[in-house]
Structure 1
Amino acid sequence: MRIWGPLAALCLGTFMLLIDVTIVLAALPSLSGSLGSSLSQLQWVADGYALAVAAALLGAGMLADRHGRRRVYAVGLVVFASASVACALSPDMGWLIAARLVQGVGAAAMFTTTLSLISTLYSGRRLGLAYGVWAAVASSASALGPILGGLLTQALNWRWIFYVNVPVTALALVMTFRCIPRRTPDRDATRRLDVPGVVLCALGAGGCVYALTASHAHGWASAGTLVPLAVALVACAVFVAVQRRSTHPLLDLSLFRRPEFTAAMITIAVGGGAVYGVLPYTSLWLQSVQHLSPIGAGLVVLPHAAAAGLVAVLSGRWMPKPSPRLGATLGLLLAGLGVAAEGFLGPGSGWPALIGGLALSGIGMGLVFQVAAALALGSVPPERAGMAGGAYSTFEQLGYAFGVAVFGTLAVSTMNRSLNDVVPDPENTAQTLSGGGADTLLAATPAGARSAFGHTLHSVFATAHNTLALTAGALAITGAALVLRLTRRRPNPPKSAVAGSPAKPAAAAQVDG
């Protein structure tokens, strides 16, 4: 249990918090029918959680460094489980979105501590194996979310995708107290939570995502889009200025002078945003256009999950000190080629057209998760492990949140253009179709015209999905080129840094309480 017990406790929490990023995807049509929702509301069910995780991660990481990583991880489990119950009991979309935000805060407390706990508990080849197992859980959880969501939605109802969190997080909580050693953290009395930094980070990220989500409903020139975007940009600029002057910053910007650390942030943000940002619209296409059941739509993603998990474990075992030029670049390249291969759907295409691309992107993401996590922790001094873990998790969730928002805007605009001169109101039709309402549109069409109009909807959705997939592929491949260039020359690291795997502190057998 000294080796596997702590890792199992951390991986259980990681699995649940990451599976909740995508578990709602298979339930989106059911949610829309049960509670009534627009595309913007459906986006916020997925994006609100990821955004809350990203906004709270750095603050949670600072609290963990001050009050103990094990303690903050345990508190996160309790908040996550409680918010999951609130999600399951939601009477309307507003309640559900609010509960998802609270759930994201609990997930942030869990997520920001897992990597730093692993880096403290393990060293050498065991550290590489631990990263590999953790990365396998992280990558497969994101892909298995739609499968589990589809199974629970079809067998019971959508509320059970949240109820299922409670027993698993309870088990993780028990294992945390039994298996992870406790140590009283060395508290710096002068170190306080950077409240302005947390608020500015939330305003910057939230404002950008809100503006992107609102743009397809109100237009880019509207006040509803421009005002939050302006607030977000100002908040981001002030955040950078505050962090540069702060004695105890929420995020030490000097870390980005380290090429490997910057490469890790680019790798996880671009990989997660490109691959998993498209996944909600793939799920909507499978269910609303291809009329697969929720579990059927989830099973289509299984090759991605299997490939990602297998590659993450193998790469962790074979590459305990991963090369950014090899692992990160190759991972992003394969992920980009895989998601781009999903961009060749036609009006008559079925789900088998996606399998090859999903498997290839899974291989790429298995490398991305394992290598980026190891690089993020291995490129900074041990005392910065909590901050580095928080930054890694923040960039991962921001990548996903921005991916969903950007691709949602692109999906609506592409459908709108395709429907011009085809329907009287292309804008509203595009909104309905992109939100999974193909059957609603067909039901409102005269019986004699339904067959032809159904073919049109198939073609329009396929065109939009192709645009998203090819754009995501180009983004990931560009990211691979950027990481390759960034790590072309590796300067000698500062003496305080560790070039390979993180150094194990003298008290490595102990973990913060």
Structure 2
Amino acid sequence: MTTLRPPNALRWWTLAVVSVGTFMLMLDLSVVSVALPGIRGSLHASFSEMQWVFDAYALTLAAFLVISGSLADRRGRKAVFLIGLVVFTVASLACGLADSIEVLNISRGVQGVGAAIMFAVGPALLGHEFHGKERAAAFSVFGAAVGIAAATGPLIGGALTSGPGWRWIFFLNVPVGVVTLLIALRRLRESRLAGSAAPDFAGMIVFTVSLAALVLAIIRGNTDGWHSASNLALYTVAAVCLVVFLVLARSRGERAMMDLRMFRNRTFVGLCAVTFLANAAGLPPIFIETSYLQSVLGSSAWEAGLRFLPLSLGMFVFGALTGGLTDKVPFRIIMGTSQLALAVSLLLTHRSGATDSWTALVPSLVVTGAAFGLFQPTRAALAIGVAEPAKAGVASGINETFQQVGTALGIAVAGSFFENRVADSFAHSTAAAALGDKSDEVASAVSAGAIEPAARSVGPALHDQVLADGRSAFTEGFHQAMTLCAVLAFAAALIAVAFLRNQDLHESALTGIPPELPDGDAEHHDTAVRTPS
């Protein structure tokens, strides 16, 4: 069926709506990093509870990403995108109004659902409206929105946290979301894919339960004991649900939440593994590094955001350069180099100490930015190039899921490891020996970043000793956690070199022609309804 082509202006309104929505949802992955000390103090949160501020969002984003695209194809992309935008905006308001860490984390989970819907449906909306060279331009703008949000998140978060307060990192989404919603209601066209399969809700549920149980077990390991009955039960639930998920996926084939046949391609397997490890290695350092800047070096939230400018600069410069490399240099070389650079950058954090200037982190931040700049454009190009054009969206969605799963599990593993190392280091300090039975309580506060409040709580006699030993323990835990993340990045580099092969890419990727998404022609049976403007 031939579809009505919208006036050119409406296409660009679609691009504006999708880009703003994507900017908001990506910003909320990074913007909270510099706000964590403020959240901790305001809501009296422990370190493990603060991990959920990241993980609740990343977990639901991963779980709902693929199924949101399927639902949109079946029910209507505009309608589903608007639902995601409303859910994200209302959840952002709930986050800003949260009066406890539990309410905040639940709201962050709901916010992640809205983010997953927008992130999954946005590219499909663009693919329907734009064609040929205009499509390439539209997706360049879309990619820029993702990159700018990731790069400027700490700076924006620092400005808001140091100014009106941490709640405004969420309140800011509300007016932007309302304006975007009003524009979207009038300017977006409805489209759907006739004959698309029903969403795999059963697969989504068991996948979510499996991932949530595993993350919960890892985060609670230090508190409940790694081999406690409750943790063993969570591991069992995670394993059983994963097996059920795989059985369901195999039985449903291409109708499953995750089409397992995609994994017959060696390069696709390698790409998903590298994506998982790259995010598990690269995102936790921002979480821990921000806390180090504020809790050990005494930076304000605004100053901490400014400290990340070298990372942002590296991302922009190398991200711009990478676009011209993907058709000249083998993908495995670019991806392998990016992960090797990430590993080196994480080891460079060992140059910093408990009493050093923040500038000791500059080499690490610059190289980290370069690594991200090399990785993200190459990953995105591989994700759509590794499959035939009709499957490009499925391949990209699965890869994005691995990206968010890597973020959720990486923060859980690195965060729990960091918390354990800080507590262990403080337990062997002079201050701990003097504190006696109170040392565990103080160690918990130190690992959460509340070093100064912990020192004040023990009285003037031990204040200076607790402050010095707390900063030293925090720094040692920081270095050990960065070493763990570096090992993951080295593993990602090895997998990239061993598994990624240009010969596995589809012909359209090798010839530099971007894969075409279904664009409403008779071949794809796509129907569209013009929205009154």
Q: What TM-score, normalized by structure 2, do the two folds share? A: 0.88
Q: Distance in 1 between matches of 2:360 and 2:219?
A: 29
Specify whether residues 133 and 365 from structure 1 end up closer, same or farther in structure 2 by C-alpha distance, changes over 3 A only: farther
Question: In structure 2, what is the Cα distance between the partners aligned to 1:46 and 1:77?
Answer: 20
Over 3 Å counting, the alpha-carbon distance change for 1:225 and 1:477 in structure 2 is same
- Among candidates 491, 504, 508, match of residue 516 of structure 2: 504
In structure 1, what residue type is equivalent to 2:266? P
Equivalent of 1:428, from 441, 451, 455?
441
Kindly indicate whether residue 300 of structure 2 is the aligned counterpart of residue 293 of structure 1: yes
| Superposition deviation, residue 119 in structure 1 | 5.1
Residue 153 of structure 2: aligned partner:
145
The counterpart of 2:66, out of the listed 47, 58, 72, is 58
Match of 1:347 in 2: 354
Asked if 1:456 corresponds to 2:469, the answer is: yes
What secondary structure sits across from 1:251 in the alignment?
Answer: coil
Alignment equivalent of 2:121, drawn from 100, 106, 113: 113
User: Any idea what SS the aligned residue of 1:343 has?
Assistant: helix
* Structure 1 residues 282-327: Cα deviation after superposition (integer angstroms, max 9, x where no partner): 1111111211111111111122123213432443356479842233
Partner of 1:82: 90
Matches within 5 A, 1:5-84: 5-84=13-92
Tell me the distance in 2 between the aligned counterparts of 1:207 and 1:412: 20
The more displaced of 191-200 and 412-421 is 412-421
> Which of 387, 399, 403 is the matching residue for 2:394?
387
Going from structure 1 to structure 2, the CA distance change for 1:88 and 1:285 (only over 3 Å counts) comes to: same
Structure 2 SS opposite 1:187? coil
Is the partner of 1:108 in helix, strand or coil? Answer: helix
* Partners of 2:32 and 2:157 within 8 A in 1: yes
Shift of 1:235: 0.8
RMSD of the alignment, in Å?
2.8
Tell me the SS of whatever aligns to 2:181.
helix
Change (3 A) 1:11 1:315: farther
Deviations 1:159-185, CA, capped at 9 Å, x for gaps: 111110122223443554566554342
Equivalenced residue count is 510
Deviation at 1:118, TM superposition (A): 4.7
Match of 1:157 in 2: 165
Q: In the superposition, relative to structure 1, how do residues 415 and 428 fare at CA in structure 2: closer, same or farther (>3 Å)?
A: same
For 2:184 and 2:388, locate their aligned partners in 1 and report how far apart those are by CA, in whole Å.
Answer: 26
Deviation readout 1:374-409 (Å, 9 max, x if unpaired): 211222233334422321221121111111111111
Once the two structures are overlaid, the 10-residue window that deviates more, 283-292 or 331-340, is: 331-340
- Give the alignment partner of residue 406 of structure 1, picking from 403, 413, 432: 413
Q: Work out whether 1:264 is the aligned partner of 2:276.
A: no
8 Å CA contact retained: 2:389, 2:516: yes
Measure, in 1, the Cα distance between the counterparts of 2:422 and 2:131: 51
1:281 matched to 2:313? The reply is: no
Alignment partner of 1:230 out of 233, 236, 249: 236
Shift of 1:134: 3.5
CA contact (8 A) 2:47 2:419 kept: no
Distance across 1 between alignment mates of 2:100 and 2:118: 27
Partner AA of 1:88 in structure 2: G
Query: What is the distance in 2 between the residues matched to 1:464 and 1:178?
Result: 52
Which amino acid is the alignment partner of residue 437 of structure 1?
Answer: A
SS of residue in 1 equivalent to 2:323: helix
- Larger Cα-atom Rg: 2
CA distance in 2, matches of 1:374, 1:92: 41
Task: List aligned pairs for 1:88-103, cutoff 5 A.
Answer: 88-103=96-111
Residue aligning to 2:453? 440
> Are 2:330 and 2:502, in contact at CA under 8 Å, matched by a contact in 1?
no
Unaligned runs of 5+ in 1: none
Q: Which moved more, 1:315-324 or 1:419-428?
A: 315-324
Once the two structures are TM-superposed, the CA of residue 92 in structure 1 deviates from its matched residue by: 1.5
Partner of 1:481: 494
Letter in 1 for 2:198: R
Q: Whole-Å Cα distance in 1 between the matches of residues 329 and 129 of structure 2?
A: 19
